[in-house]
Amino acid sequence: MKNLIATLALAAIATTVTALNFANAQTPDTQSTPKTVVVTVRDVRSDKGNILVRAAVAGKSEPVQAMAPAAVGDVVVTLEGVDGKSADISLFHDENGNYQLEMGDRGPTEGYAMKKCKLAADTTAVAVNLFYPVRP
């Protein structure tokens, strides 16, 4: 059962964090005015590395990406130019600075999170708790 859960978690992470195209078969999310998404990342465990965030919108070929230096506690990352009515936010704490989610024998060793959000007229604030499944 643990192997099944780990396999499913890894598949979800790999799809969300490493895929360049998050568009799906739904009707494209068309909106003419790009928006700002302010993401508050909570529960960051160390000040090593960076917090990498991306927002994907259905029907768009490229996600909007941003990063900020890690700090213990909360880190705010601002995404500019998110064009749509909703977005899938995915992020991870790149503690070693290699721009990849580190994997151990039992799953990810760096924190990650995912969240769907509806976008307001100009600026949307989103709070996301990091999840660290495996402690170093």
CATH class of 2-129: mainly beta
pLDDT at residue 73, as a whole number: 97
How do the domains of the chain map onto residue ranges? 2-129
pLDDT digits (tens, 9 = 90+) for 69-118: 999 999 999 999 999 999 999 999 999 999 999 998 888 999 999 999 99
Cα angle 70-84-21, degrees, rounded to a multiple of 5: 65
pTM confidence score = 0.75
Both tokens assigned to 14: 């790999």
pLDDT digits (tens, 9 = 90+) for 20-45: 333 333 445 454 589 999 999 999 99
Q: Helix, strand or coil for residue 118? A: strand
Q: Which residue has the tokens 């060793």?
A: 109
C-alpha closest to that of 52 among 124, 125, 118, 101: 101
